């Protein structure tokens, strides 16, 4: 019998690229740790207590995020102590995030190599990238990886993958589902209409909130459940405190803009002028949802930083259409901005943000910028 559709040969170069990228980005993480300043170490003591005493409830809402602390506790005999286990996990999540980002941009979105590499550099020199590296006793990088994987599932219309991801990440952090489910609903509504959006979103909500309530039911933990800390986040006094902590509405806006700096400009450009990537453009709602979380949090940078996967993906689409030298300029501006941010040089941050705005506006006017078509012929671009 003749085989009409013979199996394709395995591309061993692609297979080998995965461990190579993991090792490269792990090394990058170590280098960044040695050459950047830590921002803060918020909530680390709570996650450490969870790892030291599994199945004993600590404080809400941190005590429900059992995935990473319990994994660190399980791995700790291999590393002799829990701190080393946490660090190994964070470095693994960091390398996996960057590897997944690069491969999705390259294989999924078909962007050129330079744009994909530059996109990784944008995350490497970013608040969420560096904050979570230094704050190793945390769930932040697992959270970012979960959001990135969810974005990939949404882009490729994989309902089952998203459902499975929500089951797993419900034990990591609730923000993942709270960002991905509305994004799925919005994108499905825009692409297929309200009925498919409703019929697919309801099962996602049912699974997510079932697990959400299970974790908060008291069934899984010894010592009962104390919701006083958890419910304390949802009252007028807390909201007033958060508003004052920001420095009012103007202070909140400054903090939001400072989180990504020049990348907000490339994000806005991709959202404004990107007819060739409509689905990706609709997914751009996720960073806006991340910004909305600050209503219940004092750490604005960390909450807004959860939009990094889509801010960077849309920035990569912009860089794929820009001349090569301008991609390098954008990465350099972002790097300088981050270094100023990391060292609290506010005047320099503002100057670099303004310079990035002028540069992008210049390219848009000079090239008659339209993101539906590449600015360079791919056959002439040696980086393609």
Question: Is the pLDDT at 363 greater than 70, yes or no?
Answer: no
If 0-12 CB within 10 Å is exposed, 13-18 middle and 19+ buried, where does residue 163 land?
middle
28 confidence band (pLDDT: 50, 70, 90) = very high
If 0-12 CB within 10 Å is exposed, 13-18 middle and 19+ buried, where does residue 141 land?
buried
* CB count in 10 Å sphere of residue 381: 16
Flag whether 348 is in a domain. Answer: yes
Flag whether 129 is in a domain. Answer: yes
Flag whether 8 is in a domain. Answer: no
Flag whether 165 is in a domain. Answer: yes
Q: Quick: pLDDT tens for 269-319.
A: 888 876 567 899 999 999 999 998 887 777 788 889 999 999 999 999 988
What's the pTM? Answer: 0.87
Flag whether 249 is in a domain. Answer: yes
**Domain extent at residue 115:** 40-219+232-380
Flag whether 201 is in a domain. Answer: yes
Provide the domain count of the chain.
1
Flag whether 27 is in a domain. Answer: no
Flag whether 358 is in a domain. Answer: yes
If 0-12 CB within 10 Å is exposed, 13-18 middle and 19+ buried, where does residue 236 land?
exposed
Which range is least confidently modeled, 15-24, 83-92, 165-174?
Answer: 15-24
């Amino acid at each position: 019998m003749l085989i009409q559709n013979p199996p394709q040969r395995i591309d061993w170069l692609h297979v080998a690229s995965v461990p190579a990228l993991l090792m490269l980005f792990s090394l990058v993480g170590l280098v960044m740790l040695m050459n950047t300043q830590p921002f803060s170490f918020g909530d680390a003591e709570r996650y450490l207590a969870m790892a030291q005493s599994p199945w004993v409830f600590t404080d809400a809402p941190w005590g429900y995020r059992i995935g990473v602390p319990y994994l660190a506790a399980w791995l700790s005999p291999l590393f002799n102590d829990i701190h080393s286990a946490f660090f190994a996990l964070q470095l693994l999540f960091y390398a996996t995030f960057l590897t997944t980002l690069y491969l999705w941009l390259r294989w999924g979105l078909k962007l050129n190599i330079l744009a994909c590499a530059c996109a990784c550099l944008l995350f490497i020199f970013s608040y969420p990238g560096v904050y979570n590296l230094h704050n190793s006793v945390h769930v932040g990088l697992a959270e970012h990886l979960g959001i990135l994987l969810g974005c990939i599932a949404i882009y490729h219309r994989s309902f089952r993958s998203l459902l499975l991801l929500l089951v797993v990440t419900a034990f990591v952090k609730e923000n993942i589902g709270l960002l991905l489910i509305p994004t799925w609903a919005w994108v499905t509504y825009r692409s297929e209409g309200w009925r498919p959006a409703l019929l697919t979103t309801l099962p996602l909500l049912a699974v997510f909130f079932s697990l959400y309530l299970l974790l908060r039911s008291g069934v899984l933990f010894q010592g009962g459940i104390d919701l006083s800390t958890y419910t304390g986040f949802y009252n007028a006094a807390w909201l007033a405190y958060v508003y004052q902590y920001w420095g009012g509405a103007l202070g909140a806006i400054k903090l939001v803009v400072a989180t990504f700096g020049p990348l907000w400009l490339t994000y806005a450009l991709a959202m404004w002028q990107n007819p060739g990537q409509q689905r990706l453009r609709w997914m751009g709602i996720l960073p806006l949802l991340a910004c909305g979380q600050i209503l219940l949090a004092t750490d604005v940078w960390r909450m807004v930083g959860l939009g990094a996967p889509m801010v960077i993906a849309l920035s990569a689409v912009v860089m794929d259409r820009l001349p090569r030298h301008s991609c390098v300029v954008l990465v350099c501006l972002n790097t300088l901005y981050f270094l100023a941010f990391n060292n609290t040089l506010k005047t320099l941050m503002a100057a670099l943000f303004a310079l990035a705005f002028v540069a992008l506006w210049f390219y848009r006017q000079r090239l008659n910028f339209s993101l539906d078509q590449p600015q360079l012929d791919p056959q002439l671009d040696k980086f393609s």
